[in-house]
């Protein structure tokens, strides 16, 4: 693999004016990192996870030329992990997930979930589907404390009108 300089991105909650900086894990998830990096900037409506616990995420249209393989997988993300998931429309279609009928991802055959885990004790298991491994492609290196506070506010005050964005730092 080609040796390259470290790459960093900024992850932001736009309305709350809070961001953190993450390092791409090129050595552990090179295909996923390249796909995300080439697609930046990315962003969308933010959701707070119902099942995983301490996770916020945006659901986006597919952007990679080919879906990345399950490289650097986890089912127990730690604080600061950025994870990549791919879901089909039927996987997210059940009403138990609580997505509104006019959510931007509705009607897409495939959806990419870019997530930030901001606190401990996460377990990627879903009552309908079982284990849901994600690709760890980045790690927050600065600002996780501020972002975690904003994520807690998001959980308590609500996510409507908030955008989660990813851009090159």
What tokens were used for 166? 């990813």
Q: For the chain, how are helix, strand and coil distributed in percent, rounded to 5?
A: 15, 35, 45
What tokens does 130 get? 């079982």
Average pLDDT, the chain: 90
Asked which of 4-8, 10-14, 58-62, 132-136 is least confident by mean pLDDT, the reply is: 4-8
The ranges assigned to domains in the chain are 8-168
**Tokens 């006019």 found at:** 102
Rounded Cα gap, residues 150 and 110, in angstroms = 29
Q: For residues 110 and 93, is the Cβ–Cβ distance under 8 A? A: no
Which residue from 90, 62, 85 is spatially nearest to 74, judged by alpha carbons? 85
The pTM for the full model equals: 0.91
Band (pLDDT 50/70/90 cuts) for residue 1 is very low
Report the pLDDT value the prediction gives residue 50, as an integer from 0 to 100: 73
CATH architecture, domain 8-168? Beta Barrel (2.40)
**Prior bond of 41 cis (ω within 30°):** yes
pLDDT tens by residue, 120-167: 999 999 877 889 999 999 999 999 999 999 999 999 999 999 999 999
């Amino acid at each position: 693999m080609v040796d390259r300089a470290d790459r960093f991105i900024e992850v932001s909650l736009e309305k709350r004016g809070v961001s953190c900086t993450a390092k791409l894990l090129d050595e552990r998830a090179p295909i996923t990192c390249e796909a995300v990096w080439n697609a930046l900037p990315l962003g969308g409506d933010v959701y707070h996870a119902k099942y995983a616990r301490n996770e916020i995420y945006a659901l986006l249209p597919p952007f990679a030329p080919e879906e990345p393989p399950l490289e650097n997988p986890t089912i127990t993300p730690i604080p600061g992990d950025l994870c990549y998931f791919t879901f089909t429309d039927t996987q997210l279609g059940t009403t138990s997930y609580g997505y509104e009928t006019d959510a931007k991802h509705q009607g897409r055959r495939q959806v990419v979930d870019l997530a930030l885990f901001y606190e401990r004790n996460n377990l990627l298991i879903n009552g309908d589907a079982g284990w849901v491994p994600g690709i760890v492609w980045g790690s927050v290196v600065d600002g996780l404390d501020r972002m975690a506070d904003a994520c807690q506010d998001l959980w308590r005050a609500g996510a409507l009108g908030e955008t989660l964005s990813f851009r090159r730092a």
